[in-house]
């Protein structure tokens, strides 16, 4: 892709003006995937024929003078736990290998209606359970900034594809930071919307009270455009809000004068494991926002220390229930049995062969937390603590326009560097989990590169359904710093 077509808004504008054809843009994206994805493993499936057919229709519509959607001709990839017709969906698991959805997820249908070219499905941690994109049954994803490092997870394939310039945008899912953390580790923008802003219909359920679909893009403006397309009520998702969807791009004024930004003490001062260079970069960003006219205040979030334990009890409990359907009878992989085997053998062998180690670990944790004699001590107590975390975040946001801190405590770590220690891996989500537990929106934008030459991210948390405020702040910051124009060497000169 050229510099002109590397962003969603640039690509859509060039196609609408007839400066480039959608077919040419799609062919360029397919060529980059063919050239680079053997190194990244960001895509599990590429639908070249379907993408080119859609692109050709966009070009015909433009030539005929028909109205074009806001994403007309823009190549977009979708995380492989979101249903799309014409392409398989595995959720990164052998248990769903070969499954072809007979319908589009609501977000996929809305992208198509806006003219987007759905080019492929991206790799992920199995069933979105992970923080490094190493648990996929179909191989690890590599960070385009350093192929020996993780891209973050679980939406690592989507993040790597956007960061390397394979596509201008991709969709991911965020259950505990799975959009924002890989966005930070790959140097791009990642947005987790408010719970209920975007329909979850057609997304493979991991933890239903936490999951949300959102965009990964190169710029804040691109995220605003994609978010507007995929947002809005949906009768097929009872948790989806009918709240009015604003023009998010109109909020990008570049002005943060008079805004009040809260810095949680627990995110900077007392954060265990926070890289000193990340802390310094976040402080520099806060100083810049003050120079732009914002006010920065310190706010307490003492329950932050309980986020990891609370999240992993609630998420695994919901996962154990959601994944019970993959039994080898109704859904998923079916083991080959001998004549003497019974139904219990079918269940055990099908699930044993189909699920990977991390998924099994979380199913076991969740099943234990929900079991008789332990439900009140673990799951019920976690739900009670969740309410405290939710109330605490909302109280802080009543006094501030947004909360600001690091997205990830560290930059990308080496492949297999933490996979042998699940607890250490879980702690990588310490700053992102609160947004999911409280259902509030979160945005990650790139900071200047870490001294080791790796991307890191600045996280903004906002009030429910006030994504526009976060986008406004993120846009103002990146306008001044141009951190959204950094490219890894793998992507070539832009």
Report the run of H or E that residue 297 belongs to, with start and end.
strand 295-299
Which residue among 21, 133, 136, 154 is the active-site one?
Answer: 154
Which token pair is 36?
């680079």
155 among known catalytic residues: no
**Sequence-separated (6 or more) residues with CB below 8 Å from residue 218:** 6, 7, 8, 162, 168, 169, 188, 189, 484
Interior/surface letters 120-148, b for 16+ CB within 10 angstroms, e for the rest:
bbbbbbbbbbbbbbbbbbbebbbbbbbee
Question: In sequence order, what DSSP letters do the residues of 114-129 get, joined into one string?
Answer: TT-EEEEEE--SGGG-
Report the run of H or E that residue 213 belongs to, with start and end.
strand 213-217
Question: In sequence order, what DSSP letters do the residues of 219-268 get, joined into one string?
Answer: SHHHHHHHHHHHBS--TT-TT--------GGGG--S--TT-EEEEEHHHH
158 among known catalytic residues: no
CA distances from 311 to 388, 403, 406, 487 (A): 13, 20, 19, 33
Which token pair is 174?
């965020």
Edge-to-edge strands of the sheet including 75-79? Answer: 43-46, 117-122, 75-79, 169-173, 213-217, 189-192, 442-446, 457-461, 402-406, 260-264, 295-299
Answer yes or no: are the C-beta atoms of 192 and 436 closer than 8 Å. yes
Question: In sequence order, what DSSP letters do the residues of 44-102 get, joined into one string?
Answer: EEE-HHHHHHHHHHHHHHHHTT----TTTT-EEEEETTB--TTS---TT-GGGTT---S
3-state secondary structure of 179: coil
Q: Say how many CA atoms lie within 13 Å of 406 toward its Cβ.
A: 31
3-state secondary structure of 203: strand
Which residue among 42, 178, 320, 350 is the active-site one?
Answer: 178
Which token pair is 376?
């009140």
79 among known catalytic residues: yes
Which residue among 79, 121, 192, 418 is the active-site one?
Answer: 79
Distance between alpha carbon 268 and the CA centroid of its chain, in Å? 23
Hey, which residues are catalytic here? Answer: 79, 154, 178
């Amino acid at each position: 892709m050229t510099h002109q077509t590397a962003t969603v808004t640039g690509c859509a504008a060039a196609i609408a003006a007839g400066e480039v054809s959608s077919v040419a843009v799609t062919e360029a994206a397919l060529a980059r995937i063919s050239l680079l994805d053997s190194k990244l493993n960001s895509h599990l499936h590429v639908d070249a024929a379907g993408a080119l057919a859609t692109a050709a229709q966009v070009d015909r519509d433009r030539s005929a003078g028909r109205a074009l959607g806001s994403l007309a001709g823009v190549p977009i990839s979708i995380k492989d736990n979101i249903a799309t017709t014409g392409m398989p969906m595995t959720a990164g698991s052998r248990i769903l290998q070969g499954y072809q959805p007979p319908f589009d997820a609501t977000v996929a249908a809305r992208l198509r209606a806006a003219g987007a070219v759905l080019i492929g499905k991206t790799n992920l941690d199995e069933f979105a359970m992970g923080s490094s994109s190493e648990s996929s049954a179909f191989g690890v994803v590599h960070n385009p900034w350093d192929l020996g490092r993780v891209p973050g997870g679980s939406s690592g394939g989507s993040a790597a594809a956007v960061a390397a310039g394979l596509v201008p945008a991709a969709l991911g899912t965020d259950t505990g930071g799975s959009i924002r953390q890989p966005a930070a580790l790959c140097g791009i923008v990642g947005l987790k919307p408010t719970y209920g802003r975007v329909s979850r219909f057609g997304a493979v359920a991991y933890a239903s009270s936490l999951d949300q679909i959102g965009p990964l893009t190169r710029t804040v403006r691109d995220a605003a455009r994609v978010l507007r397309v995929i947002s809005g009520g949906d009768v097929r998702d009872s948790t989806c809000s009918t709240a009015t969807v604003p023009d998010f791009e109109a909020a990008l004024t570049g002005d943060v004068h008079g805004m009040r930004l809260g810095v949680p003490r627990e995110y900077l001062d007392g954060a265990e494991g926070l890289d000193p260079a990340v802390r310094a970069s976040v402080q520099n960003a806060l100083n810049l926002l003050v120079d732009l006219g914002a006010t920065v205040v310190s706010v307490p979030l003492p329950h932050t220390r309980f986020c990891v334990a609370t999240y992993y009890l609630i998420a695994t409990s919901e996962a154990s229930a959601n994944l019970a359907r993959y039994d080898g009878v109704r859904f998923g992989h079916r083991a080959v049995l001998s004549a003497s085997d019974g139904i219990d053998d079918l269940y055990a062998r099908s699930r044993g062969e189909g699920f990977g180690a991390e998924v099994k670990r979380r199913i076991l944790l969740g099943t234990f937390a929900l079991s008789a004699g332990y439900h009140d001590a673990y799951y019920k107590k976690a739900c009670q603590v969740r309410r405290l975390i939710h109330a605490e975040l909302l109280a802080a946001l009543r006094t501030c326009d947004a909360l600001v801190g690091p997205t990830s405590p560290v930059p990308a770590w080496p492949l297999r560097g933490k996979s042998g220690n699940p607890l250490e891996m879980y702690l990588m989500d310490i700053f992102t989990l609160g947004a999911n537990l409280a259902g509030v929106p979160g945005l990650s934008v790139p900071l200047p590169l870490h001294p080791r030459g790796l991307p890191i991210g600045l996280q903004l948390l906002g009030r429910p359904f006030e994504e526009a405020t976060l986008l406004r702040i993120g846009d103002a910051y990146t306008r001044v710093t141009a951190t959204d124009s950094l490219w890894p060497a793998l992507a070539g000169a832009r």
